[in-house]
Amino acid sequence: MTVTVQGAATYLVDQGSGPPILFLHGNPDSADLWHNQIAHLSRDYRCLAPDLPGFARSDAPQGFDYSLDSLAAWVEDLLAAANVRGPVHLVVHDLGGPTGLAWATKHPDRVLSLVPINTVFFSDYRWHFFARVWRTPVLGELSMLLMNRFAFRQEIRRGSRKLDRDHIDRTYDQITPQMRRSVLRFYRALTPQKLQAWEEGFTRLLEKVPVMVLWGDHDPYLPSRFAERFGTENVRHFPDCGHWTPEEKALEVSRSLAEFLDGQASGVAASSAAQD
């Protein structure tokens, strides 16, 4: 389905009913990254997964600058467009992390639980090689111009040797000229050092909400040591998994999410019963 967010047509998967889960993908993905998890969880939860602004089937709002403040406002407006007024479970991967975690830091009372998957929100993170290329004027544009299907397959397989060719090709087919420009703007706006101003609020968020971390350890972009930085011992590592954990470990991720989220629901129910 398509909803309007900040005046722009935004693609949104909205399936199931129950407590809402917001899934946010990263680069170079779309809402389709979460298709396995949505199929598994939509029996008991309302699953919402947008294409990020300017990615795949979503337009970017006019003048969108991809700052953390703008990303947080976009998430808030997306939820309003989907008529979600209460709190949500938040599941994020890659660039979906800064997008969703900026919103969650600003709106901690809207967060039921948090599941980071191969993502960071830390000022001491240093960009991987391609991110540095994309952040460089002219060089970034040239790299996007040269990124044909063959080059894309090679890089994705470096990030994960377990993704099949059909999945990689479907992902490539969704990369529009607008998305190539949006990726450059996203990386150029998102300087890790800017996260210093968010660290105090993010720490308070991690102290407030239940957190589970899922991490593919063979990630050439995000070192596995960052998995331990989210203020929880509830961390599950996948030693034989690369960057695209939701796809590579689809069943394991889906089951881990169901167990974690069902546990939160049981805890709320038990707490309510005790108060009665």
Pairing label, strands 46-50, 88-93? unpaired
Q: State the sign of the Cα–Cα–Cα–Cα dihedral 264, 265, 271, 275.
A: positive
Residue 267 has pLDDT above 90, yes or no: no
What value, to the nearest 5°, has the Cα angle with vertex 246 and ends 174 and 52?
40
What is d(CA 236, CA 51) in angstroms, rounded to the nearest whole number?
26
> What average pLDDT does the segment 247-252 reach?
98
Contact partners, residue 4, CB within 8 Å, separation at least 6 = 10, 81
Residue 265 has pLDDT above 80, yes or no: no
pLDDT level of residue 269 (50, 70, 90 thresholds): very low
> What average pLDDT does the segment 11-17 reach?
99
Q: Which of 1-5, 188-192, 249-253 has the lowest mean pLDDT?
A: 188-192
What is d(CA 199, CA 101) in angstroms, rounded to the nearest whole number?
11
What is d(CA 71, CA 182) in angstroms, rounded to the nearest whole number?
13
pLDDT digits (tens, 9 = 90+) for 185-215: 999 999 888 899 999 999 999 999 999 999 9
Mean pLDDT of the chain: 95
User: Which pLDDT score, from 0 to 100, does residue 272 have?
Assistant: 41
**End-to-end Cα, the chain, rounded Å:** 41
Q: What is the CATH number of domain 2-275?
A: 3.40.50.1820
pLDDT digits (tens, 9 = 90+) for 150-162: 999 999 999 998 8
The DSSP string of the chain is: -EEEETTEEEEEEEE--SSEEEEE--TT--GGGGHHHHHHHTTTSEEEEEPPTTSTTPPPPTT----HHHHHHHHHHHHHHTT--S-EEEEEETTHHHHHHHHHHH-GGGEEEEEEES----TT----HHHHHHTSTTHHHHHHHH--HHHHHHHHHHH-TTS-HHHHHHHHHT--HHHHHHHHHHHHH--GGGGGGGHHHHHHHHHHS-B-EEEES--SSS-GGGGGGSS-S-EEEETT--S-HHHHTHHHHHHHHHHHHHHHHHHHHHHHHHH-
> What average pLDDT does the segment 137-158 reach?
96
What is d(CA 100, CA 70) in angstroms, rounded to the nearest whole number?
11
Gyration radius of the chain over CA positions: 18
Percentage of the residues of the chain whose pLDDT score is greater than 90: 93
User: Which pLDDT score, from 0 to 100, does residue 193 have?
Assistant: 86
Q: How many residues does the chain have?
A: 276
User: Which pLDDT score, from 0 to 100, does residue 215 have?
Assistant: 99
pLDDT level of residue 261 (50, 70, 90 thresholds): very high
pTM recorded for the entire structure: 0.95
User: Which pLDDT score, from 0 to 100, does residue 268 have?
Assistant: 55
> What average pLDDT does the segment 1-27 reach?
98
> What average pLDDT does the segment 251-265 reach?
95
Cβ proximity of 89 and 259 under 8 Å: no
> What average pLDDT does the segment 46-50 reach?
99
What is d(CA 99, CA 93) in angstroms, rounded to the nearest whole number?
10
